[in-house]
Structure 1
Amino acid sequence: MKMIQLLYVENVISRKKRELHQKLAFFMLVENQGHDKKIDVLWAGEDGVWHMLPATWHSNLGHHEEYWQAQITAISTADKSLPGNITIALRYQVQGREYWDNKYGLNYSSQADSGIKVVTTHPVLNIGFVNKLNDGQKYVPVSVSVNHAVNAKTVTIHWTTDNWQHSYKTPCNFKRNYWDKKSGSNARNPNQYGSQIWQGLLKIDNAFRVQYTISCECDDKVFWDNNQDKNYSVSHEPLKVMILNLHCYQEDNQDFKFSQIATAINDLDVDVVCFQEVAELWNDGQGDWNSNSAKIINDRLNSPYHLYTDWSHLGFDKYREGVAILSRYPLLKQASKYVSGSHSAYSIHSRKVVMAQVNVPYMGLINFFSAHLSWWDDGFSEQFNKLSEWVRDNQTEAVSATMLCGDFNITAGSEGYSLVVGANVYDDQFLAVNDQGAFEKIFKVNDAHWQHYLADDYRIDYIFMNKASQLHIISGKVLFTEEDYGRVSDHCGYFMIFEPK
């Protein structure tokens, strides 16, 4: 394919409060050549003056292609007319190189108020589709451009909300005028470029995701738009979880690093955070809330989260050391409990875990446990067994998933790790998403050849999710390295994203 390709242009004029508005929108397909890309639409109206309009990312099409979009609305004033007919070219800059789609030097064109103009040879093309669902959205409109030459008889949307376990068909209606929902305007002649506009409406109720493909039946052939064999998919926001051991106030430039952690949570739009080695000044055992590291980070978020924390023991001779959970969603249930035999505030082997239950929109109730357990020789087995019992007591049919999060002080592949995953109750989520082949061989096929695969994997921080979960992980990466927000602890963090199965 081309490095950048214009797919369609929208050109609609409307009247609002006695003002004339002209909306120009551009949709394009881009070869993903790196993260530092810059994409611009160069356009000129009837006055011949060229303008640069930056494009923004819309959605991914597999690993190597992306959809990008750009739009602008011009307003007619006493001394400035609308752009009218426009001329268009696309520029793509990445890794010191520059690519163009300008119709091989001739440039593209779009006439004023012409609605949608498809500039590719697609006989059927989904247009104006969104990349995510809004809260409370129960209907998904679908607009389809069909090349007039194919002589379409029917256009049908084939769709599902449960990954094709059940599927539905919704017929589309032919629109003699192209209706622009945002501007409230009809384009006068949407078919002048040889395209027909068909529209359908999917009733998805409270589904998390809808996937669909489009068929167009003609006299002797059926044309499809299935998004290059990947189908179209639009969903609500996934669940984003972060885990991090804060290192109990032992970092140089500690205050700056707290700010870096808050910045990462804001940037990544994290939903739930599980912290370990949360610390506040000992103060004769009474603590000092204003020095609590989880509170300090929470106070620096764009909007503070719901926070639950508790401490286990005296750390580094001057802190109350514990664990915490931060959640953008209200905590419906919260509790803390010692899972160690020792409950002494003066023993480092006293280990307390906190749990919180949250109702994640479109996913249901999820139980989170933030844990910092002892090393294998210091009581890990006893502590994990008590934690597991507590988890089982809170696992009801209403709970969609349970996540054990934090610093488990067991290396991947070790005896302690085998205790966790060997009971066939929990899966190591980071391994599951980042090395699926190894995960299958080790945990599902039980291939003896792969049992030593984790020997060089020195992770001790995990998210273990119960196998009966109604969620699955879609991505996971390491955080707080020299490549992103810098080192903020003697541990790295982990950021993982989940969706319903």
Structure 2
Amino acid sequence: MKVLTLNCHSWMEKNALEKLEQLVLTIEREQFDIIALQEVNQLITTKAATLDDYFQPLISHQPIVHQDNFALKVVEKLKKLGVNYYWSWNVSHLGYDRYHEGAALLSKNPIQPDDFLVSKVSDIDDFHTRRILKGRTVLGETELVVFSCHYSWWLGNQQEEGFYYEWNQTIEKMTRMASPLLLLGDFNNPADNCGEGYDYLKRTKPELQDVFKVAKNKTGEHTVSKAIDGWSENTQNLRLDYGFISSEFHVEEYRVVFDGKQTPIISDHFGIVLTLSLK
């Protein structure tokens, strides 16, 4: 199974349409089985889209998908190339006062998607609101659950906000899931130096494997290399984007993409490609 995760920064990017095209061409070439995208946006003011049966609505509440939805544009362009993906999308909050901002999942196999609130606040107008998109799908004959995650920063462990609170809510949800788990996305907590959030995650869920740590083959490591939104004073390489997997998986490859080397930079984050198999 080949997997991609990317915080795509979507319509906030300069030359966004060109970068969307580069993402589509990479997906066509690599033929990923599962794709997790974050910062998947649509303008608040645009019209509702007409969707086909490849769109998989959330079980509980589905936000209206607009015609300029970034994930919709990706799957539409892929379809013109003869590549079809089932897909789903949620909304966490309003971004930059212009966008509905959320996450997306794309899969070669049908998805049973839903999302769950992890932040203390739930107001869409508050950028602290965070919802995790999850999808139940299959690999061969095995059912698995995939999360597309975009968490807040570490704000200490005494406050009912930030990554500490959000991760605790995620743990509660995970305890109810018996299927193999694959958590992908932007965790906003670096693994290096003083990574309190990363350390807390590993301490509270030590059975989850960090794909970078256990991959047999590795190309690249870090996913942010400059100052970006939320990390405006950053001057070093950071690993903020992750795959965390349950023990049923084996990781053959970890590869950083969209870093300006083999593939062009298309976002303020680099992406990660994983090659996984079930043990």
Same fold (TM over 0.5): yes
**Residue in 1 aligned with 2:227?**
none
1:483 Cα offset (Å): 1.6
Q: Cα offset for 1:434?
A: 6.0
Q: Does 1:276 align with 2:17?
A: no
461, 464, 469: which one aligns with 2:244: 464
Given the superposition, is the C-alpha separation of residues 415 and 320 from structure 1 closer, same or farther in structure 2, using an over 3 Å criterion? same
Instruction: Quote the residue 1:342 is aligned against.
Output: 121
Partner residue, 2:190: 411
Relative distance call for 1:470 and 1:291 in structure 2 (3 A) is same
- Asked if residue 309 in structure 1 is aligned to residue 83 in structure 2, the reply is no
Asked if 1:245 corresponds to 2:7, the answer is yes
Deviations 1:91-113 (A, max 9, x none): xxxxxxxxxxxxxxxxxxxxxxx
Question: Aligned partners of 2:237, 2:96: CA distance in 1, in Å?
Answer: 28
Q: Is the 8 A contact 1:281 1:288 kept in 2?
A: no
1:387 to 166, 170, 173: 170
Match for 1:367: what amino acid? V
TM-superposed CA distance for 1:359, in Å, is 1.2
Distance in 2, matches of 1:360 and 1:287, equals: 29
1:429 aligns with 2:211: yes
| Paired AA for residue 386 in structure 1 | Q
Deviations 1:20-55 (A, max 9, x none): xxxxxxxxxxxxxxxxxxxxxxxxxxxxxxxxxxxx
Distance, in Å, in 2 between the alignment partners of 1:371 and 1:280 is 18
Deviation, structure 1 residue 288: 5.4
How far did residue 427 of structure 1 move?
Answer: 1.4
Per the alignment, do residues 248 and 267 of structure 1 end up closer, same or farther by CA in structure 2, a change over 3 Å counting?
closer
Q: Aligned partners of 2:263, 2:64: CA distance in 1, in Å? A: 30
Amino acid at match of 1:368: V
Shift of 1:268: 0.9
TM-score normalized by structure 1?
0.45
Residue 76 of structure 2 aligns with an amino acid whose one-letter code is: D
Q: With a CA cutoff of 8 Å and minimum separation of 6, indicate the structure with the bigger relative contact order.
A: 2
Tell me if the contact between 2:4 and 2:36 (Cα under 8 Å) persists in the aligned partners. Answer: yes
Please state whether the residue corresponding to 1:337 is helix, strand or coil: strand
Structure 1 segments (4+ residues) deviating >6 Å: none
Structure having the larger proportion of residues in strand: 1
**Larger-Rg structure:** 1
User: Secondary structure of 1:257's match?
Assistant: helix
Are the equivalent residues in 1 in contact too, given 2:46–2:68 (CA < 8 A)? Answer: no
Task: Output one character per residue of 1:441-484: Cα deviation in whole Å (capped at 9) or x when no partner.
Answer: xxxxxxxxxxxxxxx76110000112xx3221001100112222
Q: Which amino acid aligns with 2:93?
A: H
Identity score, percent:
29
Q: Residues 281 and 287 of structure 1 are in contact (CA less than 8 Å); yes or no, is this contact kept in structure 2?
A: no
Deviations 1:360-400 (A, max 9, x none): 115x111001110000115101101101111221x22xx2x
Label 1:276 to 1:412 Cα distance change in 2 as closer, same or farther (>3 A). same
Distance 2:45 2:213 in 1: 41
More helix by share: 2
* Kept after mapping to 1: 8 A contact 2:216/2:251: no
Question: Could you say which residue in structure 1 is the equivalent of 2:102?
Answer: 322
**Equivalent position SS for 1:478:** strand
SS at structure 2 position matched to 1:249: helix
Please tell me whether the aligned partners of residues 10 and 16 of structure 2 are also in contact (alpha carbons under 8 angstroms). no
Determine if contact 2:181/2:245 at 8 Å carries over to the other structure: yes
In structure 2, the partner of 1:361 is 140
Other structure's SS at 2:90 match: strand
TM-score (structure 2 length as normaliser): 0.80
Letter in structure 2 aligned against 1:486: P
* Count of residues in Structure 1 that have an aligned counterpart in Structure 2: 236
Secondary structure of the corresponding residue to residue 215 of structure 2: helix
Q: Secondary structure in 1 aligned to 2:11?
A: coil
Q: Which amino acid in structure 1 is aligned with residue 181 of structure 2?
A: T
Verify the 8 A CA contact 2:46 2:67 in the aligned structure 1: no
Mapped pair 1:254 → 2:16: yes
Note the 1:456-495 alignment, pairs <5 A: 458-466=238-246, 469-495=247-273
Equivalent residue, structure 2, for 1:499: 277
Q: Deviations over 1:67-113 (max 9, x none)?
A: xxxxxxxxxxxxxxxxxxxxxxxxxxxxxxxxxxxxxxxxxxxxxxx
